[in-house]
Amino acid sequence: MRRHTLKRLSLCAAIGALAITAFAAAPSRAAEDAVIIPPPAVDAQASNGIQTAVIAGGCFWGVQGVFQHTAGVVNAVSGYAGGSKTTADYNMVSTGATGHAESVEIKYDPKKISYGKILQIFFSVAHDPTQLNRQGPDSGTQYRSAIFTANDEQKKVADAYIAQLNAAKVYRKPIVTKVGPLDAFYPAEAYHQDYLTLHPTQPYIAYNDIPKVEALKKIFAENYIEKPTLVSNAKVTN
């Protein structure tokens, strides 16, 4: 079952009242699904200048929303990674045949947040890393869990952290997140950017993604910021 795309918002509206009622009855559903996990034993060294992390964990709306509320993140952009430039298009990616995953490019200040902390939030509240080629109601390889590494240090941290969490058995099932090199990241269409903030009452967002931000606020209070860092307002220098 694919998530409600923009082409299907009329269907979404038709079931909107039911979805919002369900959300109101269980507003902490995703927060309950979030897992409190230990920080990484191996982390990247702090460095000067803005750094980049690219991750994929289901629908990019929710992942982007979580990191837009994370202190130290100067920009979080929804987009595509894992495929070619010619197929970095929402309609094509949605077929599941392009190799792309819906991804988020995170620009962050390593003096304020580490790469390891970003992965801790990613594994804890942003998605479920034990689901293979799906997240919640969304299925297909475009919704896979993945970390696209920019350098050897990121790969070392990601591999070590996955091994650490699996050894600690913090999840009931093994982590299926794939770690591989980032070839390129392609920003998604403008209507996908800042989607959680712009459409907080859209049923998919209200039921699946707002609770992720609530879980961030609860579990990572020291890393949470109330005002999101939006793509429309971001000023990033490398």
Residues labelled as active-site residues: 59
What is the C-alpha separation between 189 and 67, in angstroms, rounded?
Answer: 19
79 closest CA partner among 68, 93, 67, 66? 93
Q: What is the largest CA-CA distance in the chain?
A: 50
Q: Give the separation between CA 230 and CA 192, rounded to whole angstroms.
A: 12
Beta bridge partners of 145: 57
